[in-house]
Amino acid sequence: MKKAYWVGIVNVKNHDEYKKYTDIAGPALIATGAKILSRGGKIINLEGKKMNRLVVIEFPSMEHAETFYHSDEYKKGLKYLNNDVCDRFLNIAEGLD
């Protein structure tokens, strides 16, 4: 089974509200067996619109990644995100092996 990766590109506008999301999402991801590979930290923008946060999370499979996104536990954090808090792109990419 191929691994899958959440790839999120985020421009955080309200760090206090965004932290409410991350305080729920981070522990929930780890509890489900996902591995956070990159979250925040230094970013060098090479092309396109500059965003201030990049997130890469490894899951055991595409199904696992998508199921977690729709889980009740993750939805508890998502309720804190809106257009005033951040601009966000989130995709699931299948790994090569």
pLDDT of residue 40: 82
Domain ranges, residue 48 = 4-94
pLDDT of residue 41: 85
Instruction: Please tell me whether the overall predicted TM-score, pTM, comes out greater than 0.85 for this model.
Output: yes
Q: Which residues of the chain carry a pLDDT beneath 70? A: none
pLDDT of residue 97: 80
What is the 3-class SS of 5-19, one letter each residue?
EEEEEEEECCHHHHH
Residue 15 sits in a domain whose CATH number is: 3.30.70.100
**pLDDT tens-digit map of 30-57:** 999 999 999 988 999 999 988 999 999 9
Contact status, residue 97 vs residue 25, Cβ threshold 8 Å:
no
| Nearest CA among 60, 17, 56, 95 for reference residue 68 | 60
Distance between CA atoms of residues 76 and 72, nearest Å: 6
Long-range contact set of residues 22-25: C-beta below 8 Å, sequence gap at least 24 = 22/77, 23/77, 24/73, 24/76, 24/77, 24/80, 25/74, 25/77, 25/78
Amino acid identity for residue 84 in this structure: D
| Number of domain units in the chain | 1
Amino acid identity for residue 3 in this structure: K
